[in-house]
A and B are shown apart, each in its own frame.
Chain A
Amino acid sequence: MPAREHILHKIRTAVGRSSGQPPAEIPPVRLRFEALDISERVRRLAERFSGQVVHGDAREQVARLVSGKRAVACPHPLLERLGILTLPEVETLGGSVGQIRAACAAADIGITSAEYGLCDTGALVVLAGREESRLASLLPVVHVTVLPADRILTGLDELFTVLPDPGAVSASMVLIGGPSRTADIEQILTLGVHGPRELHLVLV
């Protein structure tokens, strides 16, 4: 018997089910969140975000962060509209996977957009796609994210309400709850072990 059939057969024997039998009633989804106005959402996200939150003109803020360093940015329409892609020190990512990987590996700063922010944990939700790279938020030592304030959700419960199947929109969704960190040696916290050491959030 092939492994698939063999394992499924053993499972069905173990739990007393037959092939094709519909599952028993599933416990209902538990999703609860409060209604919060946008200023409260901004306040809470800023309070819990594990990095610097900057307001004001996005292009100026990013220019200040980038000054003198090598930066790469994703070709996202939001970043384009804000004029970030035309900053002189910013290289817009493009080309083959290999080229994108090499550009991110050589950069000091990676600039991305975020799809959502979560105000209960201060986390950012980044969806990979045609205009968003996975490696731009990962390989450089500094990660700068631009997030529209009206896309702040209360938390995981609201996220899975608006996005019940993240796999339908992207092959990769990542929740970023803070900088890359480890405490594997003597439980001493160290930042930037593999990914960014520093996070900056530009709220627009």
Chain B
Amino acid sequence: MSVAFHERIQYALLDERLQKALYSATGRLRDKRLSGVGADQLPDYQELRTQAHRIKQHTLENLDHYLELLAQRVEERGGRVVWCRDAGEVQSFIGDLARDRGVRLAVKSKSMTSEEVNLNEALERYGVEAVETDLGEFIIQLAGERPYHIVAPAMHKTRQQVADLFEAKLGVGREEEIPRQTMIARAVLRKKFLEAGMGISGANFLIADSGAVVIVENEGNARLTTSSPRIHVAVAGIEKVIPRAADLAVFLQLLGRSATGQTLTSYTSFLSGPRRPGEMDGPEEFYVVLLDNGRTRILADRDKRQTLYCIRCGACLNICPVYRRIGGYSYPGTYSGPIGAILTPQVLGLGHEPELPFASSLCGACAEVCPVKIDIPKILLELRSEVKKTEARERRWNAEKLGYLLWAWVMRHPRLFELAGMAAQALLPSGGDGRWIRSLPGPLRAWTAARDFPPPPAESFRRMWRARQRSG
């Protein structure tokens, strides 16, 4: 395990306050989801999952067709589609547009894709202030951090920490009451909404046949971002497209329930193009920025393509026994939890953090709660196999690999196996009363650093068998 990854995990595990907060917050979201998808609430749940999976599969298998249709419809409705191969192209398109239109202030609504391309830092270089307006994102922007959780970005912050931040960064008096803190944010951000020349949003879905951007939210900040400023730019990965508006009837029933247990969130915006002639308000300019950034590489891999089905509900994070302990900042990259563990290695390359696919118990809970039925454990296994193949190709040796080679050799020789068994019985510290061994001696200690070892049996199978033959 790389030192940084290992240290980040230790850091999270040793923080008792964080452990409690993380466990209870994810637990609450998990329970809300569970009641939201219960048979009394949503009898068609399994059927909807299957349909959602099929639509995603179909769309990605015909992705070029649906993206071209989307682009055509967006343009028919007065908007523009901008195709970007990587983060740099997104940064320079939005930066140049802002400079060209004289925009000094941009408001942003929650977008994991814009996090992925480090848009805020890039805009700063263009002299544009980019303000996050989702309350959680606003808090972590003030703190200079990155989202802790896909749907609850400031999950790890307490009201006291928020009070410290607001006092230090906003120049307001200390306030620890959550409703009052929320009203402080409302007042600060309301001013920004009314002054901003550009609104930058993400997209939960892109609708090919309507040329529309669909945004799902509770706060109303995405509505303000897309309604008040003169320019609206939506940034989305190419995998966000679905064929028809009617497919939303499937996805919207799954998304809110899987994320927060809500049958429908407070606001679902369906935006196709800029303000039309005569319409009372809305942006004058409308851009849809389509981002590849490694997604076509994932698409080319038939086995792992389903990684792109993800609708970012966060349900796999809340159920994952690993995420619930190590938290969002232990993961490398923008996306955390089980989905991050399969997405990050495919976007950044396996070499970025080779241990990531191994940081899972493969319990399968993530696949069970995934609203679009992504087989995350299967993809983790694929990635593990790729890491090991790379190690073999590069003839990299480590103690674990030598151990397994030795094990394989011993297993092929019955006499040796028996001797090894006897040696283990003699040498291993007995846990006593069949209890598991908590620490192995010598170089084997590394194995038991994070797990226990089963005690050797009092009598080997071979010995029992021989005794049985003799007496029979």
Contact = CB atoms under 8 A, between A and B. Distances in A.
B281 A167 contact: no
A11 to B, nearest CB: 5
A172 interface: yes
Given A156-B249, A165-B245, A171-B276, A11 B64 contact: yes
A194 B221 contact: yes
B198 interface: no
A165 B209 contact: yes
Contacts of B336: none
A177 B58 contact: no
B266 A178 contact: yes
29 contacts: A2-B83, A6-B83, A14-B299, A17-B64, A27-B58, A30-B48, A30-B249, A30-B250, A105-B190, A118-B264, A130-B280, A156-B252, A157-B249, A160-B249, A164-B244, A171-B77, A172-B272, A174-B269, A177-B264, A177-B267, A180-B219, A180-B220, A185-B139, A185-B178, A186-B21, A187-B28, A187-B152, A194-B190, A194-B220
Interface of A: 2-4, 6-8, 10-15, 17, 19, 21-24, 26-27, 29-31, 74, 93, 97, 100-101, 105, 118, 120-121, 123, 128-135, 138-139, 156-157, 159-161, 163-168, 170-188, 190, 192-196
Contacts of A187: 25, 28-29, 152, 155
Contacts of A6: 83, 85
Given A134-B280, A171-B273, 8 more contacts: A13-B300, A27-B54, A30-B48, A97-B275, A160-B246, A167-B211, A180-B218, A186-B21
A172 B224 CA distance: 12
Q: Which 7 A-B pairs have the closest CB atoms?
A: A195-B220, A167-B272, A184-B136, A14-B300, A23-B62, A167-B210, A10-B296
B153 A184 contact: yes
A95 B292 CA distance: 41
Given A134-B282, A171-B276, A194-B220, A156 B253 contact: yes
Contact of B83 (A7, A123, A163): A7
Most buried by B among A134, A184, A195: A184
Contacts, number: 266
Interface of B: 21, 25, 28-29, 48, 51, 54-55, 58, 60-68, 71, 73, 77, 83-85, 89, 133-136, 139, 152-155, 157-159, 162, 178-179, 181-183, 185-186, 189-190, 193-194, 207, 209-212, 218-221, 223-224, 226-228, 238, 243-250, 252-253, 260, 262-276, 278-282, 286, 290, 292, 296-297, 299-300
B154 A184 contact: yes
A176 B280 CA distance: 19
B83 A4 contact: yes
B424 to A, nearest CB: 49
Contact of A128 (B21, B178, B218, B282): B282
Nearest to A185: B178
A3 to B, nearest CB: 4
Given A128-B280, A166-B272, A171-B272, A185 B157 contact: yes
Contacts of B292: 7, 10
A26 B186 contact: no
A73 B133 CA distance: 27
Nearest to B278: A130
Most buried by B among A2, A19, A173: A173
Nearest to B25: A187
